[in-house]
């Protein structure tokens, strides 16, 4: 890397270069090498996705006989998309499941985390700092750690066997959530909470103190301040978190596969395409189309709301 960075300009200033005699065409060419390298990386980076996209419009025969770069107009077809949106492989159901997971898993944490973030930021109580650090330190816990007990909780509730006695008492009844999308979004809600509290707290605690003092002098209580002042001011951060969380839950595979992997009726899109990829060969031709449909919503969010998106992603990258 240093061979190129030694040529990179940083911030170009003409005076020392002229003094050193660094002029002329050859030098200009050398100076442009970093740009070429960047664009080379860009091309390499976009080729895999481009290949998938092109293949999703090609017929089965074309896909299995030649590479996507050999595409010609005759082989273009809607058939792959027709197939995934109809009949056996209907992607509609799994799209609905993905929404059924991602919507509650986005909305509910926003509400609860906003409460908690406000509590941590603007209500004085004993042990506030310690509790906040404890909460936030849960942020990077690998979610694998909680999966087995959570699945057990959803399958059979929680029971406790009394020591010395041969008796069990039910702590949490069996709600029969195994295989339901409810189990998935409940899990996401729990896992999102430390991160959401952290992100919203950072923002809410940086709101100007004068605002709160003025409101309190006017007789507003915590509830009013939260509802009338903090929530409207926090919309940008709520949006950033919302987008991150929506994409996280939309793109999640591990939790969904653990909680609803056994129930095909509740499969979200990620499981659908993973399963399509799993049954070697038979559905290979509709896989690109399905994968593209799965990625469509994240991509729209990416291109349309890049600002929120970047912020949400940056903040969320530390999440467990």
Partner 1 sequence: MTSLGHRHYGVGVPKFFWSHIWGEVLETKQDGGTAVETAATPQPNSWFATQSLKARVLLIVGAVTTLAFMIFSAKIRSTIVTVVVAVAVCAGIWIGANLLFDQSRERWQRFQSLVFAVLGAVVGIIIHGNGLTLGSEGGFFSWILGPLVGGLAFGALGYFLAGTEDAQQRLTVSVAGMAVVGLGIGLLLREQYQPGVDWVATIVYTLVFAGIGAGLRVLTNRPWQSGVYLGATLGWLLGFWAGADVGDGNVGTAILGAVVPAVLVGIHVGQTRNPDYAGRVQLDQTSRAWIFLGPGLLFIMVMLVIPAIRTAYLSLLDRDSESFVWFDNYKATFTDKASWDASNWTNMFTSWPFLIGVAVLVIAALIGFRQKELTGRAVELGNPTVVPLIAGFLFVCFGVFTAMRGTIINNLWWVVAVTFFSTAIGLAVAVLADGRGGEKIAKSIIFMPMALSLVGASIIWRFVYQTRDISKEQTGIANALWIGLGKLSTGSGIPTILGMVVLGIIVAVCASFMGQSLVRRAYGRAAVPGIALIFFGWIFIRYTQIIGGGIGGFKTNANGETVGETIVFVQESPYNNFWLMVILIWIQVGFSMVILSAAIKAVPTELIEAAQIDGATDSQVFWRITLPQIAPTIVVVVTTLIVLVMKVFDIVKVVTNGQFGTQVLANDMFQQAFNNLNIGRGAALAMLIFLSVLPVMVFNIRRMQEEV
Distance CA 247, CA 265 (A): 22
Report residue 130 CA to chain centroid gap: 29
Among 59, 89, 90, 135, binds partner 1 (CB under 8 A): 135
Residue number with CB closer to partner 1 (79 or 239): 239
Site for partner 1 contains 177 (CB under 8 A) = no
Distance CA 146, CA 142 (A): 8
Site for partner 1 contains 23 (CB under 8 A) = no
Distance CA 204, CA 202 (A): 6
Report residue 268 CA to chain centroid gap: 15
Q: Which residues from 50-69 bind partner 1, rule CB under 8 A?
A: 51-52, 55, 63-69
Site for partner 1 contains 84 (CB under 8 A) = no
- Minimal distance in Å, beta carbon 84 to partner 1? 13
- Minimal distance in Å, beta carbon 156 to partner 1? 12
Among 112, 155, 157, 174, binds partner 1 (CB under 8 A): 112
Among 80, 84, 91, 150, binds partner 1 (CB under 8 A): 150
φ and ψ at residue 254, rounded to 5 degrees: -60, -55
Among 18, 28, 76, 140, binds partner 1 (CB under 8 A): 140
Q: How far apart are the first and last CA of the chain?
A: 32
Site for partner 1 contains 10 (CB under 8 A) = yes
- Minimal distance in Å, beta carbon 72 to partner 1? 14
Among 78, 86, 111, 242, binds partner 1 (CB under 8 A): 111
Q: Which residues from 252-311 bind partner 1, rule CB under 8 A?
A: 252-254, 257-258, 261, 270, 273-274, 277-278, 287-288, 291, 294-295, 298-302, 304-307, 309-311
Among 60, 79, 90, 99, binds partner 1 (CB under 8 A): 99
Residue number with CB closer to partner 1 (73 or 164): 164
Q: Which residues from 198-227 bind partner 1, rule CB under 8 A?
A: 199, 202-203, 205-208, 211, 221-223, 226
**Nearest in space to 266 (alpha carbons), one of 107, 20, 100:** 100
The structure tokens listed for 259 are 């909680």
């Amino acid at each position: 890397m240093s061979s190129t960075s030694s040529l990179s300009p940083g911030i170009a200033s003409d005076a020392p270069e002229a003094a050193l005699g660094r002029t002329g065409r050859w030098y200009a060419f050398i100076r442009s090498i970093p740009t070429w390298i960047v664009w080379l990386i860009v091309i390499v980076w976009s080729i895999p996705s481009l290949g998938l996209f092109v293949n999703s419009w090609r017929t089965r025969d074309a896909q299995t006989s030649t590479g996507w770069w050999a595409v010609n107009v005759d082989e273009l077809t809607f058939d792959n998309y027709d197939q995934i949106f109809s009949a056996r492989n209907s992607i509609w159901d799994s799209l609905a499941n993905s929404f059924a997971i991602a919507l509650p898993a986005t909305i509910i944490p926003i509400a609860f985390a906003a409460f908690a973030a406000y509590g941590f930021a603007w209500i004085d109580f004993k042990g506030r700092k310690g509790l906040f650090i404890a909460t936030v330190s849960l942020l990077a816990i690998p979610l694998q750690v909680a999966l087995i007990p959570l699945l057990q909780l959803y399958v059979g509730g929680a029971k406790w066997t009394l020591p010395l006695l041969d008796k069990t008492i039910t702590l949490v009844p069996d709600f029969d959530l195994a295989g339901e999308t409810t189990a998935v979004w409940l899990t996401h809600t729990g896992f999102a909470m430390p991160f959401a509290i952290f992100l919203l707290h950072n923002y809410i605690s940086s709101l100007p103190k004068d605002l709160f003092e003025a409101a309190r002098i006017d007789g507003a209580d915590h509830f009013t301040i939260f509802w009338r002042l903090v929530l409207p001011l926090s919309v940008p951060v709520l949006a950033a978190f919302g987008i991150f969380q929506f994409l996280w839950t939309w793109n999640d595979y591990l939790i969904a596969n653990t909680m609803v992997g056994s129930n095909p009726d509740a499969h979200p899109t990620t499981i659908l395409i993973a399963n399509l990829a799993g049954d070697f060969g038979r559905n290979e031709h509709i896989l690109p189309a399905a994968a593209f449909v799965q990625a469509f919503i994240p991509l729209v969010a990416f291109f349309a709301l890049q600002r929120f998106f970047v912020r949400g992603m940056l903040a969320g990258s530390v999440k467990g």
